[in-house]
Amino acid sequence: EFGDRKAKAEKMFGLMDGFLKNDSISLQKDILDHVEFTVARSRFNFDDFEAYQALAHSVRDRLIERWHDTHLHFKKKDPKRIYFLSLEFLMGRSLTNSVINLGIQDQYADALTQLGFDFEVLAEQEGDAALGNGGLARLAACQMDSLATLDYPAWGYGLRYQYGLFRQIIVDGFQHEQPDFWLNFGNPWEIERVHVSYPVKFYGTVKEEVLNGKKCKIWIPGESVEAVAYDNPIPGYGTRNAINLRLWAAKPSDQYDMESYTTGDYINAIVNRQKAETISNVLYPDDRSYQGKELRLKQQYFFVSASLQDIIRRFKDLHSNFDEFPDKVALQINDTHPSISIAEVMRVLVDEENLNWSKAWGIACSIFSVTIHAVQPEGLEKIPVDLLGSVLPRHLEIIYEINHRLMEELKKSFGQDYDRLSRMSIVEEGAVKSIRMANLSLACCHTVNGVSRVHLETLKTRVFKDFYELWPQKFQCKTNGVTQRRWIVVSNPSLCSIISKWLGTEAWIRNIDLIAGLREYAKDPDLHTEWKNMKRVNKMRLAEYIETLTSVKVSLDAMFDVQIKRIHAYKRQLLNILGIIHRYDCIKNMDESDKRRVVPRVCIIGGKAAPGYEVAKKIIKLCHAVADKVNNDPDVGDLLKVVFIPDYNVSVAELVIPGSDLSQHLSTAGHEASGTGCMKFLMNGCLLLATADGSAVEIAEEIGAANMFLFGAKVDEVPALREKGTTLKGSLQFARVVRMVRDGYFGFKDYFKSLCDTVEDGGDFYLLGYDFASYLEAQAAADRAFVDQVKWTQMSILSTAGSGKFSSDRTIEEYAQQSWGIEPCKCPF
Ligand code: OAK
């Protein structure tokens, strides 16, 4: 029989003409076929967008080919797999990344030229897949790239939102949100798997029954929604492996509403069916505050339940004994959002697979690990008990049972220390009785990861102090990293060529440690020339983009100074703007000879504010108000320009980062868990102006503090400074710039009053006043360094050369070895 199958497979392979061909003629033919038959346009008449669609489909074919081979190979080898559960993935565009990772970029560029198109122009047609908010979500995307590249047998699981993160439009300087219906024009990067679907149940009641003399719980759900898989192949670089990111979409289930059809209420039955789809409709645009929303909980459970059914089905294909589960399955939960999966695994093992509690708990504890991406205890997710009990009644019972056993165990260690027990309890008593999802994760996971050394320290000594004292071995540091494929190779091709040329190899694209080899040439004048040219060309591209979007003309000789990230009080964009006001004020008070010594600056800010976040929205408006004043002031000219880049997203970052000279990371020390934006700038040779927070501390160790501009209070100084509260006075300079805003120098006096209050009367929680003087000093140091272009270029080269540690390849290797216990599983060529 096997012989038969083999012969059949060989015949089919022959009929298919072997693997897809990648020479220029085959690619041209392939693209034209897709124009004609997939896009259904005439091959004699199609525009850039249609050409992009055809091109994308041709690339997709090649992705699918490798993705099939990879999964066959995984199935054959049956290694332990890592399943990465995340409610958010911020993938951005896929085209350029895919052809680079597949190793066929030049062939495609060539094929398109022959057809009269330009690859880069077509690449611009693609919209962003923005199924996430910020750091956590983009990190997940970088890690998927590393998992594929390093040949790990990995799966990503998430939600296929119909609406990604809102589009930001700016009207009169105010942010407005518009829906991002990213699927409007189709999505060539996904494969709809109508036959891969699972029912996900909600609501209902729990009954106790005696089966075979054993008491057991039966959940009788009240609603069922179907989860349909959409697969997104993720190609590795320099390998045949392409792994899968499986995103679930909610579809109405046929099972439950048959009754309404038979009762004749046809129209209502259809309307109700459609309601099921709302579960995967929209991404929550608020990345820090949890409001105990029912839909959010349903989203979490929906993707977790479908993913676990899928994982268990795959396990059962080859195994029948759950003792082997931990040898085959590692589950990583990205922050606490998927932590309901712990209760779900217990429910499946105990209620459906009939394992006893201790055995099931032993399995759960050996498969789960979690990474925490927040710092503030109040940022940790809590679900009101009433809500959980209504949506997932059986899970609530299970969580109570886990908590009961946890409390018993704690009593053994801590006796009657009730304060401690109540802090560690999964159930929070209080006005609204809630489930602490972080405590649930801590109770179960074998590893709890922080995302930088400083962050892990905060978790150990503050946020999860009690848990650390009990289980110190669980706590691990996995300093974040980003993928050099996207953040250098895709987004900065000129830098990529320079690095490869000077290192004499492209091997750094897979082995980032080699990038340190650039240090040797940090003073080489020839490298300096190439480096400066590269930067100038990137700045030119950015300047054009700025002019198109904002009509502001900027000088390429100015220092491009950038702060792009979500707008948050703790990230202190306000500090940046107040610094800009100070700079403006200084220029206004200068005579002409002083002005000649000013280093011209283009201050670029970009980022979205959560729709309900008033303070963040005021910061955006202030930025525009200041820009209006400064950019139209003839006394200032090219010495200072202020630009707000609207609708910041991954593809905007790919354009902005390579064109920046300086980047700002201003979080109050102790508030940024890691920060990954700084790593992208670092790789691109942009100098960092930063507080000693999150990963910046480790960056300083790698490149030397002298090669960046550090400022501000240190992590361990912050609590004492806060204690001093209102007695802490900012400098006179600080008072002056805040006064300018208060007095209406930039208009909108009443509107900005509350913003000014937050840094003065409001107690200045984020210490803007305290840090202002040292911020200005760091800015002055950056100006001085920029004047000496040789020194600046050398610092820039040393930044890139020192960025090796901050590759997600390193992070993923650490996870694989220290948390997941998985080995590479490379698909043979
Ligand atoms: C989002 C939602 C809830 C909790 C945390 C986040 C988040 O995005 N956190 C960010 O994660 C990044 C990746 O680890 C870190 O670099 C950022 O510092 C952190 O704020």
Per-residue model confidence as pLDDT tens digits over 352-366: 999 999 999 999 999
Residue 462 to residue 453: CA distance in whole angstroms: 14
Question: What average pLDDT does range 771-797 have in this prediction?
Answer: 98
Q: How far is the CA of 19 from the centre of ligand 1 (A)?
A: 41
Q: List ligand 1's pocket residues with C-beta within 6 A.
A: 133-136, 139, 287-288, 335, 373-374, 379, 451, 480, 672-676, 694
Q: Considering 479, 507, 534, which residue would you say is the last residue of a domain?
A: 479
292 and 209 in one domain? yes
Q: Which atom of ligand 1 is nearest to the CA of 672?
A: 18
Q: How far is CA 453 from CA 306, 376, 462, 701, 791, in A?
A: 34, 16, 14, 12, 30
Q: Which atom of ligand 1 is nearest to the CA of 451?
A: 14
Q: Kindly state the tokens that stand for 385.
A: 């008990």
Residue of 136, 378, 453, 806 to mutate, ligand 1, most atoms within 8 A of C-beta: 136
Question: What average pLDDT does range 134-152 have in this prediction?
Answer: 98
Q: How far is CA 702 from CA 479, 529, 670, 699, 706, in A?
A: 13, 25, 20, 5, 11
446 and 569 in one domain? no
Asked if the model's pLDDT at residue 319 lies above 60, the reply is yes
Q: Which atom of ligand 1 is nearest to the CA of 676?
A: 16
pLDDT value of residue 565: 98
pLDDT value of residue 719: 94
Q: Which atom of ligand 1 is nearest to the CA of 455?
A: 18
Q: How many C-beta atoms surround the C-beta of residue 37 within 10 A?
A: 12
Largest CA distance in the chain: 95
Residue 257 to residue 270: CA distance in whole angstroms: 9
529 and 471 in one domain? no
676 is catalytic: yes
6 is catalytic: no
pLDDT value of residue 695: 98
749 is catalytic: no
pLDDT value of residue 2: 55
565 is catalytic: yes
pLDDT value of residue 187: 98
Q: How far is the CA of 290 from the centre of ligand 1 (A)?
A: 14
Q: Kindly state the tokens that stand for 734.
A: 């600080």
Asked if the model's pLDDT at residue 470 lies above 60, the reply is yes
Residue of 332, 370, 674 to mutate, ligand 1, most atoms within 8 A of C-beta: 674
pLDDT for 736-761, tens place per residue?
Answer: 999 999 999 999 999 999 999 999 97
680 is catalytic: yes
Residue 581 to residue 627: CA distance in whole angstroms: 10
Residue 132 to residue 733: CA distance in whole angstroms: 39
Residue 27 lies in a domain: no
Confidence of residue 694 (pLDDT cuts 50, 70, 90): very high
Using a cut of 0.95, tell me whether the model's pTM lies above it: yes
Confidence of residue 6 (pLDDT cuts 50, 70, 90): confident
566 is catalytic: yes
CA angle 594, 597, 601 (to 5 degrees): 115
Which residue CA neighbors atom 7 of ligand 1 most closely? Answer: 136
Task: Look at residue 689 and give its three-state secondary structure.
Answer: strand
Q: Considering 448, 479, 510, which residue would you say is the last residue of a domain?
A: 479
Catalytic residue among 373, 394, 568, 608: 373
Q: Which atom of ligand 1 is nearest to the CA of 480?
A: 14
Asked if the model's pLDDT at residue 379 lies above 80, the reply is no
Question: What average pLDDT does range 620-644 have in this prediction?
Answer: 98
Asked if the model's pLDDT at residue 416 lies above 60, the reply is yes
566 and 645 in one domain? yes
Residue 84 lies in a domain: no
Q: How far is the CA of 675 from the centre of ligand 1 (A)?
A: 8
Q: Which atom of ligand 1 is nearest to the CA of 139?
A: 13
Q: Considering 446, 479, 512, which residue would you say is the last residue of a domain?
A: 479
Tell me if 439 sits within 8 A of 426, measured CB to CB: yes
361 and 328 in one domain? yes
Q: How far is the CA of 483 from the centre of ligand 1 (A)?
A: 17
- CATH number for the domain including 283? 3.40.50.2000
Asked if the model's pLDDT at residue 261 lies above 70, the reply is no
Q: How far is the CA of 816 from the centre of ligand 1 (A)?
A: 21
527 and 440 in one domain? no
Residue 734 lies in a domain: yes
Catalogue the E-assigned strands of 48-100: 81-85, 89-92
The total of structural domains in the chain comes to 2
674 and 649 in one domain? yes
Residue 817 lies in a domain: no
Q: How far is the CA of 136 from the centre of ligand 1 (A)?
A: 4
Residue 7 lies in a domain: no
Q: What end-to-end distance do the CA atoms of the chain give, in Å?
A: 26
Residue 212 lies in a domain: yes
Confidence of residue 726 (pLDDT cuts 50, 70, 90): low
Q: How far is the CA of 373 from the centre of ligand 1 (A)?
A: 4
Residue 611 lies in a domain: yes
Q: How far is the CA of 138 from the centre of ligand 1 (A)?
A: 9
529 and 472 in one domain? no
Q: When comparing pLDDT for 623 and 762, which is higher? A: 623
Catalytic residue among 38, 483, 676, 800: 676
Residue 812 to residue 826: CA distance in whole angstroms: 16
Half-sphere exposure of 554 (CA within 13 A, CB side): 34
Q: Which atom of ligand 1 is nearest to the CA of 287?
A: 2
548 and 472 in one domain? no
Q: In what order do the strands lie in the sheet with 191-202?
A: 191-202, 223-235, 242-252, 154-159, 81-85, 329-334, 368-371, 447-450, 475-477
Q: When comparing pLDDT for 19 and 694, which is higher? A: 694
pLDDT value of residue 214: 85
445 and 519 in one domain? no
Confidence of residue 224 (pLDDT cuts 50, 70, 90): very high
How many residues belong to the chain?
829
Average pLDDT of every residue of the chain: 95
Strands 223-235 and 214-220 turn out to be unpaired
Residue 42 lies in a domain: no
pLDDT value of residue 3: 66
Residue 584 to residue 77: CA distance in whole angstroms: 64
529 and 449 in one domain? no
pLDDT value of residue 258: 58
DSSP 482: B
Q: How far is the CA of 306 from the centre of ligand 1 (A)?
A: 25
pLDDT for 450-468, tens place per residue?
Answer: 999 999 999 999 999 999 9
Domain that holds residue 329: 136-151+190-227+249-479
Strands 662-665 and 687-691 turn out to be parallel
pLDDT for 650-684, tens place per residue?
Answer: 999 999 999 999 999 999 999 999 999 999 999 99
645 and 686 in one domain? yes
